[in-house]
């Protein structure tokens, strides 16, 4: 892999053939408005200072890069460091992007935000930022996800957000996004759509990546300080892909750094049993390029082009599409994507909890499982950074039920 790898094409909003802006005409104006506001914010010293201040004094950055000594010894392979995004305010990396977009909403004079959420962490982050900035907040959430993430529903309501259950389709993240977009179309004059991942129409995939790239910037500085060299491997779970691209982005041009995204392998390789968009080499079926919710990317779909149902034990990973930059990184061979099963993720969560004293979110447990699978083929010279994107408080009901921890 060339060290001159570029992380985006020359066309704004495009990653190779992927990305773009495939939306109804009514959304073009607010998307252009958002793009202009974001481009201006990049060089606005006041905006950047406020963003940096909130990341530090409200969210709790920088997060530690912890050497996982016992996990390293247990796996007997690479030296493993964990990027502790779970220690942020609200319990996940989602707060980074929510702060950035919340400030943009204020900048654009939009007093109301709408958001979607699957695992609930983005909804909690959006509600938290809205409360802090004095914005009205409405969060759309599939009723299936509301049932398995009841704690986060309570947190959002405690913060003053209105949580709207979505009972259509699979009643999960895809359907929540549909409803949030319908709300935005209806209320574009006073509402900003605070999209939570590197999905959707331009400028969202680029903008969300940029807000999350603080993860990789910190991790790069921290690993160089601790080990005096770059990592050989990066691991992160991939649903839409914001935590993964937030870690990967600062290392894209370093050919020696391998990047591994772990998807939800669910309970089987057949369409409808998983949410693996890029793990075709493992036999996971159904993914091919198409357009969903404003962007051209890999999508799990039936032979006649209908969006497929998905399954994952993790509410944050069961989305049928993937961020367009990840699609391009996969095509280019710059990043590797594979999937692990529900059961492997559960066992990985139990292992990390008992070996390191850290209970991970089910999403992050997939990344841990992916590392566990690869560790026997790695050497003591390998150096890993694993992004622990969220903590497992929200998943304790699932862990208790399936791992017998009650």
Distance CA(193)–CA(276), nearest Å, equals 26
> Is the distance from CB of 93 to CB of 396 less than 8 angstroms?
no
Q: How far apart are the first and last CA of the chain?
A: 48
Tell me the C-alpha distance between 332 and 313, whole Å.
Answer: 30
Taking the C-alpha atoms of residue 244 and residue 240, their distance in angstroms, rounded to an integer, is: 9
The H-assigned helical ranges of 228-269 are 242-248
Output b/e per residue, 140-162; b: 16+ Cβ within 10 A: bbbebbbebbeebbebbeebebe
Spatial contact of 281 and 320, defined as CB atoms under 8 Å apart: no
What is the rounded CA–CA span in Å between residue 298 and residue 18? 9
| 51 φ/ψ angles, rounded to the nearest 5 degrees | -60, -50
Q: Return the beta strands (E) in 98-201 as ranges.
A: 112-117, 136-142, 162-166, 191-193
Question: 85 near 215, Cβ under 8 Å?
Answer: yes
- Whether the Cβ atoms of residue 254 and residue 5 lie closer than 8 Å to each other: no
Other Cβ atoms less than 10 A from the Cβ of 78: the count is: 21
Residues labelled as active-site residues: 94, 116, 389
Phi, psi of 133 (to 5 degrees): -100, 0
For residue 88, give the nearest of 99, 80, 96 by alpha carbon.
96
Q: Which residue pairs, CB below 8 angstroms and at least 24 apart, start in 219-222?
A: 219/65, 219/83, 219/247, 219/250, 219/385, 219/387, 220/250, 220/251, 222/62, 222/64, 222/65, 222/81
- Which residue, chain included where needed, has tokens 């892909």? 241
How many Å separate Cα 339 from the centre of its chain?
15
């Amino acid at each position: 892999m060339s060290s001159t790898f570029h992380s985006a094409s020359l066309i704004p909003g495009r990653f190779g053939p992927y990305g773009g802006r495939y939306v109804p005409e009514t959304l073009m104006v607010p998307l252009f408005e958002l793009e202009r506001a974001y481009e201006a914010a990049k060089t606005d010293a006041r905006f950047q200072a406020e963003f940096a201040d909130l990341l530090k004094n409200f969210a709790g950055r920088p997060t530690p890069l912890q050497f996982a000594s016992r996990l390293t010894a247990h796996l007997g392979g690479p030296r493993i460091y964990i990027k502790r995004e779970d220690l942020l305010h609200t319990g996940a990396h989602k707060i980074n992007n929510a702060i950035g977009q919340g400030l943009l909403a204020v900048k654009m004079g939009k007093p109301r935000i709408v958001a979607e959420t699957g695992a609930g962490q983005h909804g909690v982050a959006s509600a938290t930022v809205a409360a802090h900035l004095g914005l009205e907040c409405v969060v759309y959430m599939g009723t299936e996800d509301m049932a398995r993430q009841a704690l986060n529903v309570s947190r959002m309501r405690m913060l003053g957000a209105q949580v709207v259950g979505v009972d259509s389709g699979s009643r999960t993240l895809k359907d929540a996004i549909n409803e949030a977009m319908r709300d935005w179309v209806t209320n574009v004059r006073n509402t900003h759509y605070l999209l939570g991942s590197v999905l959707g129409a331009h400028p969202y995939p680029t903008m969300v990546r940029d807000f999350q790239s603080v993860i990789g910037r910190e991790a790069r500085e921290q690993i160089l300080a601790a080990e005096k060299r770059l990592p050989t491997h990066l691991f992160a779970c991939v649903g839409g892909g914001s935590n993964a691209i937030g870690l990967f982005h600062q290392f894209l041009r370093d050919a020696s750094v391998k990047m591994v995204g772990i998807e939800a392998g669910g309970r089987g390789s057949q369409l409808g049993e998983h949410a693996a968009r890029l793990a075709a080499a493992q036999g996971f079926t159904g993914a091919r390029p198409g357009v969903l919710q404003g962007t051209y990317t890999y999508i799990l779909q039936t032979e006649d082009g209908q969006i497929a149902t998905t399954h994952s034990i993790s509410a944050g990973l069961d989305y049928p599409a993937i961020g367009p930059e990840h699609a391009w990184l996969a095509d280019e061979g710059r990043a590797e994507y594979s999937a692990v099963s529900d059961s492997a993720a559960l066992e990985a969560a139990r292992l990390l909890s008992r070996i390191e004293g850290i209970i991970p979110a089910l999403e992050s447990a997939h990344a841990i499982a992916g590392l566990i699978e690869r560790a026997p083929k790695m050497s003591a010279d390998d150096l890993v950074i694993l992004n622990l994107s969220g903590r497992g408080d929200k998943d304790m009901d699932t862990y208790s039920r399936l791992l017998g921890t009650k």
